[in-house]
Every structure is written in C-alpha cells, then in structure tokens.
Amino acid sequence: MTEFLFFIEVLVGGLLAGTMYSLVALGFVLIYKASSTFNFAQGAMVFFAVLAFVGLMELGLSFPLAFIATIFLMFLVGLGTERLVLEPLMNQSEDTLLMATIGLGFVLEGLAQAAWGVEVRRLDLGIGDFPIPWIVDNLGLFISALDLTAGAVATVMIVGLALLFKYTKMGLGLRAVADDPGAASSIGIPLKNIMLMVWTAAGIVALIAGMMWGARAGVQFALVDLALKALPVLIIGGFSSIPGAIVGGLIIGATEKILEVYVGPFFGGAIEGWAPYVLAIFFLLYRPEGLFGEKIIRRV
C-alpha cells in the first residue's frame, strides 16, 4: 500500500511539475501559431519578465503594481519586437525569423542583466515549496503547495486562452493569421495588431511561468535554459496546440519523475535531465505532428 501511495505521490508531483513546463510551452505555442516561428527568445522572455518583476519589487513597488508594470513592460517588448524585428523581416523565410528570435533572445538577456544585475534573486510569492499538511494528514501524500498553485494557475491560463481563441474576434483573427497570413490580410485583418497581441500574450505567459519557476529555483540566468525544456513538451504536444502544450507538459513531468525514481537507479540517477528528450525523439519518429498538433491538411 505504501508502495502504491509512493507511486501516486511521484506521479502527482510529476504532473504538477509538468504544468510548469506547460506554462513555458504555452508561450512558444502562441507565437508559433501566429507566425509559424519557433521563438528561441521565449526563454529569455521568461528571464527578462521575472527579473524585471523582482527588480521592480525591490524598487519598492507593491506586488500587484509590479505585476501590472511588468505586463506593460512585456507589451513594450512585444511592440518593439513587432516594429523593429518582425515588420522589417516581413515576407522573409521562416528560417530568417528563427535566427532573428535567437538574436532577440540575446538582446533581452543582455538588457535584463544590464538593468537588474546578474546575481540570483529570491522571489517569495508567499506560497511555500513544502507539502500541504491537510493533504498529508488526510491522503497521506506529500504534495507541494507551490506545485499545486502552479497547476491551478496553468489550468486557468490555458482554459482562458483556449476560450479567447475560440470565441473572441481577436481569437478568430489570430487563427486566421495562423492559417494564411496573406489571405487574412486580404480580408482586412491587421497583421500588425494580431502580432502585437500575440507577443504581449506570450510575454504575460512568460512572466507567470517565470514567477512559478523563480519561486522554486530562484530568479537567475538558468531560467533561460530551463525554458528549453519546453522543446520536448512541444514535440510531444504539437507546436500549434494549446491543449497539446498542457498534455505534453504533464506527460514530460510525470515520465521524468517516474523514470527518475524507478529507472534512474539503474543508470546511476539523474536521468530526468535527458529522459524527456529521448521521449521526444520517439515521438518525432512515430508521430511527428505531436499528439494534438494540427495535421497538415493536404488535398490530393
């Protein structure tokens, strides 16, 4: 019985940690949907956003004020990206855009560190990274409050975005642009506004993901690399799918923890660092569009 409880604990812990991956992956999906570009700067945006947030709090802003100010800042980042990077590169190949996002990543990393310094900062959200007593007492499971919060936040964001895309005018515009920017433009959908909206949304998602990660691991440069954990999540879930981002995150979170605990010892441990990528390769071989990725529709 305790064996089983332990398994459940590992699984739940993994799933909840997975929602953190989902949050980061969500930022990638948004931009991928709108411009078919893998935004290499997403990791840098996570770092930039949360560092700015912590920096603003250090300047004496209250939590909600700093939060709003950072969202505004991410809007400016989106605006700047749209005007200075995307617009001049309009109609260039996707490879060109990909390279541009790598450059953008370096710029954001540099700007963030120039403005706020390089030391690791602590972010206290008032939610501890320790087991919730009530769950320990009643279910006998050790589940972290922070994990649970991240899970709830991720769920709310994902449901919210999915509804936004399905039922609002902006959402329809975004999906139209995602399918065919030229055709969208021909019927009067303003591409610039859609891009700006998407980058701002990706910035907000980056901020929230950064806050969750930062509260656990400290606000530091390593967040940039952590964000690349979203890559296997995207390969499994599908680059263009919001539900895919969440399920992919859950799968990665759960598998890496279960493998770490049950298979890890045979490899001398620490397999959670690379196990997700092995899983991703498996997916690339057998289901390259991912679980929920939009199948390429080709009429014959």
Binding site for another protein (CB under 8 A): 90-91, 169, 172-173, 175-176, 178-180, 182-190, 294, 297, 299
CB of 181 to another protein, least distance (A): 9
CB of 30 to another protein, least distance (A): 16
Sign (positive or negative) of CA dihedral 258, 259, 262, 268: negative
CB of 159 to another protein, least distance (A): 20
Please report, to the nearest 10 degrees, the dihedral formed by the alpha carbons of residues 242, 128, 75, 226 taken in order: -60
- Cβ closer to another protein: 76 or 163? 163
CB of 33 to another protein, least distance (A): 10
How wide is the angle at C-alpha 38 spanned by C-alphas 276 and 284, nearest 5°? 40
CB of 191 to another protein, least distance (A): 8
- Cβ closer to another protein: 1 or 297? 297
DSSP for residue 219: B
- Cβ closer to another protein: 157 or 189? 189
CB of 195 to another protein, least distance (A): 13
Among candidates 74, 35, 34, 39, which has minimal Cα distance to 205?
74
Among candidates 293, 216, 206, which has minimal Cα distance to 248?
293
- Cβ closer to another protein: 90 or 136? 90
Q: Are 160 and 171 in contact (CB under 8 A)?
A: no
- Cβ closer to another protein: 210 or 293? 293
Q: Are 233 and 209 in contact (CB under 8 A)?
A: no
- Cβ closer to another protein: 124 or 180? 180
DSSP for residue 82: I
Q: Show Cβ contacts of residue 85 under 8 Å, excluding neighbours closer than 6 positions.
A: 100, 104
Where on the phi/psi map is residue 126: left (φ > 0), alpha (ψ -120 to 50), or beta? Answer: left
